[in-house]
Structure 1
């Protein structure tokens, strides 16, 4: 009896110890955001847009803030007037050396403009979009350096005038479901008919053109250039620093910033995401080394369908905004049909970096020749396919935070 009691007591103590460890691990995991269900204020904007007829113009901004943007920087500000909404770039949200001429920033602004215009139709209005155009100040290396610290924070890039009467686009229904999917895609290829439909979404008369890399040699060359560009970026300390500034890996970073890239949107899958959250924050160099590995082993693996948006002048403001509108429209169309999309913009980022540093345009010459773009210039590159896992939403700033006094 005494021996049985000792055994029972030992087991009881072991059980208590196990529960204590489990409770401690659970508390630590909760503190690290392992069980974060992407709820609360940072994610409330994803359900805020209603799009009902007769609503206020500010409702359109609730759709605009759900648009795509580089590194989820959300580089927009809006002024709401009785008959229009003015859209401004917020230069304080620049990616720095990753985007020295604000090309990607303005593509993201084009995405927001597209969401805003589509939402207007669902609310019974006809939007008339007026884009600023022409060479952007600072779009050459000397001008870019001269503008540093001198340019105003906010510069108007477009006005969306609101007039009575319009038909709603079915794309409005998927604005809140569109997410960048950085995870693996299935081997099943996107049908050629879908690629043709996506190409038709380009506006008539626009200089932006979707070029599909349909031949295996083209896709192989695209993959080689993208990997080489990624390697260039991860060896560039300034680019790594400016990119890493937008990673929100600590749990407290999400509610305080409500922007940037979180572990949940990296496409790692739920179990690996939870495991990584338990680890200390990796260095910027390690994060970008991992990005290079994932680019090679996931994003470019299996010969994915890839395309580029080419324009006559990537440094023309109007061309950038129109490219962004096209990308957003394409992404919404694909979302409605279960097709995932993911930007792979390392090549144009390196092209911009070479220009910033005053170097010979080696990457641009090589890519343009290999892909047969002729006199067209690459401004955006992407992959698409049927995802193995659904993409998830990242944090967003509410419309009220980005509407400034008119």
Structure 2
């Protein structure tokens, strides 16, 4: 498809946002909001949906917004729209993370919107899942791993594959240690419980509606770090692929880049039949992050630890808030 030389209308931009909000986010908080203007849309961090205990610096919040930004780019490319992305918008609002402008001409972001339009990434947005169960016990082909490495590199990040059994076991130990530290923190447990919602609420970690009050009470009251850590240790050990998304720096722009790279990796993975989930505990716990970095023997900053493989069965999509809750249309000045 050739790139359309006519910028999208506000209604068309609103339609593109239906795909942006399918991005993954910590605790399914969906911490983004958008402002539509003539021929452009601004991406904002919604800090009312932050996780102070789990993500005190809003690092994962920003990564989640980067994932939504990549989805928006993929959707725009699929519809034939060319875009330029300003990742350093004027600091009139510290929550404004990016401005996506729709106009003719060459794109100004890595990866290339024309390339995005020719891949199967668009179809993957609606069927990608965070798959938290065990994967099938089969290896991921080298050609698929190469595609994942390229997807991260095209977005200016590095995807480090953990290949040795020793290294994988050490990472699994860090995951279990992270679980123990987090679950021992009453504030962390309280925050987790507060984001356990019934599906009808449209966000958060889904639990059956009738059981939600009981589940939240149990999570608040009991330290389940040992049992959760043992389960996550097993998941890490058995996963066909363990990988870390890393960035050269550790600033807001790096987190946005990590989000875009992560989402591209997830979408490319899905085109090869894979799903993924996260074991970010060694990155979320400040004392463990340097240990993970040293274990990887790299200078890059680890941003996301994910596991990938072929799912054994289907899983439901996480609920989403109504599109109308996450955007506004800015009226033009007369």
Q: Same fold (TM over 0.5)?
A: yes
The corresponding residue for 1:92 is: 48
The answer as to 2:229 corresponding to 1:292 is: yes
Alignment partner of 2:99 out of 147, 150, 159: 159
Q: Deviations over 1:128-180 (max 9, x none)?
A: 1111389x9xxxxxxxxxxxxxxx8x710001111248642421112111110
How much has 1:287 moved relative to structure 2?
8.1
Superposed CA offset, 1:252-273 (max 9, x none): x432x31001148xxxxxxxxx
RMSD over aligned CA atoms reads 2.6
Partner residue of 1:372 out of 282, 286, 297: 297
Does the CA contact (< 8 Å) of 1:132 and 1:317 recur in 2?
Answer: no
Query: What displacement does 1:204 show?
Result: 4.3
- Indicate yes or no: 2:130 matched with 1:180: yes
CA distance in 2, matches of 1:371, 1:203: 17
Are 1:171 and 1:333, in contact at CA under 8 Å, matched by a contact in 2?
yes
Residues 63 and 119 in structure 1, CA contact (< 8 A), matched pair in contact too: yes
Q: Per the alignment, in what secondary structure is the counterpart of residue 57 of structure 1? A: helix
Distance 1:192 1:258, change over 3 A: same
Aligned pair partner of 2:199 in 254, 259, 265: 254
The answer on whether the counterparts of 2:43 and 2:99 sit within 8 Å (CA) in structure 1 is yes
Task: Indicate the SS of the match to 2:152.
Answer: coil
Q: How many residues align?
A: 308
Say whether 1:340 aligns with 2:268.
no
Aligned-partner SS, 2:53: helix
Q: CA deviation at 1:203?
A: 4.7
Report 1 or 2 for greater relative contact order, CA contacts < 8 Å, sequence distance ≥ 6. 1
Do residues 56 (structure 1) and 8 (structure 2) align?
no
TM-score of the aligned structures, taking structure 1 as reference length: 0.70
Residue among 70, 76, 99 paired with 1:120:
76
TM-score by length of 2: 0.85
**Preserved CA contact (<8 Å) 1:213 1:306:** yes
Matched, 1:217 2:166: yes
2-structure distance, mates of 1:175, 1:95: 25
Q: Which runs of 5+ in 2 are unaligned?
A: 1-7, 106-112
5+ residue gaps, structure 1: 1-52, 137-151, 265-273, 352-361
Q: Kindly tell me: are residues 387 and 279 of structure 1, through their superposed partners in 2, closer, same or farther at Cα, counting changes over 3 Å?
A: farther
Q: Which whole-Å CA distance do the structure 2 matches of 1:95 and 1:64 have between them?
A: 21
CA distance in 2, matches of 1:277, 1:301: 31
